[in-house]
């Protein structure tokens, strides 16, 4: 079976957007293009802003992804868990669609008797392990995120460790918002090596507004470019995977 490619945006933020388009609308637009949006809200101990919380949830809902609010200390585990959950959710959606085609009704995995689910789980696991994965990480670098950035860096390195253990190929890209000159800035172009972040991340400056919506819009554009780019660099990815094992 051709596993295909799963495309995700991972948004890491700590609060409310205050500039530009409604981020939920942009997330919905992403979903329309087959890109899911997962959101992680990083909070300081005991500071949970209700408005921020509901924004985080609604972006993920609109983007067909997973959301999780977490204290900075637990970020590493959460980032990999949310990414995996998001993948499984996407695959499950595809499998459900197939099931409906075969069974002709609005059947989902849950409608099958428990004994029949086992084999489907194996298919979902198999796809999760072998599918190609493109993750665009979108990091909020507004002023309040400043002291959380080292943790974000650690979490992203840990994410690449987890994902590079898979059999499938991975591609990462990192955007930050707000950027130095514009609303959004590309920090790392599509690459299988997320480790390249290590050198760039400490130099980041924080501050300004939180244009979450425009950042999501910009991120979407990057996926399109990526596709045309890939056709040029068709076999560029293979060697990396072998190296990383």
Partner 1 sequence: MMINHSLRNQYKVSPGTVIKGKWYNHEYRIIKELGNGANGIVYLADCHGQDAALKISDNSMSISSEINILKSFAKVRGCTLGPSLLAVDDWAVKDKVFPFYVMEYIKGENYLDFIKKGDSWTAVLILRLLKNLSLLHGMGYIFGDLKPENLIISAPAGDVRFVDVGGITPIGRSIKEFTEFFDRGYWGMGSRKADPAYDLFAAAMIFINSYYPKRFGRKGEGLSELTRAVNEHKELRRYEKVILKALMGKYDTADSMREELLRIISQNSAKGGIPNQGTKEPSLVQSRTARKKKTKGRHLESLILVLLISFIYILYIYSRLL
Residues that bind partner 1 (CB under 8 A): 43, 48, 68-71, 74, 76-78, 81, 84, 88, 92, 109-110, 113-115, 117-118, 120-122, 124-125, 129, 158, 161-167, 245
DSSP code string of 131-195: SEEEEEEEEE-SGGGGGGHHHHHHHHHHHHHHHTTSSS-EEEEEEEES-SSSS-EEEEEEES-GG
CB of 194 to partner 1, least distance (A): 14
Q: Whose Cβ is closer to partner 1: residue 89's or residue 206's? A: 89
CB of 114 to partner 1, least distance (A): 4
CB of 161 to partner 1, least distance (A): 5
Q: Whose Cβ is closer to partner 1: residue 31's or residue 84's? A: 84
Q: Whose Cβ is closer to partner 1: residue 21's or residue 57's? A: 57
CB of 170 to partner 1, least distance (A): 11
Nearest CA-CA partner of 169 in 146, 150, 191: 191
Decide if 168 contacts 130 (C-beta within 8 A). Answer: yes
- CA contacts within 13 A on the Cβ side of 162: 17
Q: Whose Cβ is closer to partner 1: residue 75's or residue 219's? A: 75
């Amino acid at each position: 079976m051709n596993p295909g490619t799963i495309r995700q945006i991972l948004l890491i933020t700590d609060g409310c957007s205050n500039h530009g388009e409604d981020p939920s609308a942009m997330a919905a637009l992403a979903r329309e293009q087959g890109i899911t949006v997962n959101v992680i809200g990083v909070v300081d101990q005991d500071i949970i802003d209700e408005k921020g919380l509901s924004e985080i949830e609604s972006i993920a809902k609109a983007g067909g992804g997973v959301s999780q609010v977490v204290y900075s200390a637990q970020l590493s585990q959460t980032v990999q868990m949310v990414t995996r959950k998001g993948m499984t959710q996407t695959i499950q959606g595809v499998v459900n669609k197939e099931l409906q085609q075969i069974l002709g009704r609005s059947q989902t995995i849950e409608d099958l008797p428990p004994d029949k689910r086992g084999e489907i789980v194996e298919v979902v696991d198999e796809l999760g392990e072998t599918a190609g994965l493109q993750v665009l990480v979108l990091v909020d670098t507004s002023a309040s995120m400043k002291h959380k950035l080292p943790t974000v860096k650690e979490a992203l390195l840990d994410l690449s460790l987890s994902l590079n253990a898979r059999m499938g190929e991975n591609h990462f890209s990192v955007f930050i918002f707000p950027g130095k000159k514009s609303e959004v800035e590309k920090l790392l172009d599509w690459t299988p090596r997320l480790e390249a972040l290590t050198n760039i991340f400490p130099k980041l400056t924080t501050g300004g507004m939180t244009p979450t919506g425009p950042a999501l819009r910009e991120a979407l554009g990057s996926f399109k470019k990526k596709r045309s780019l890939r056709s040029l660099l068709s076999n560029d990815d293979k060697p990396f995977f072998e190296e990383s094992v």
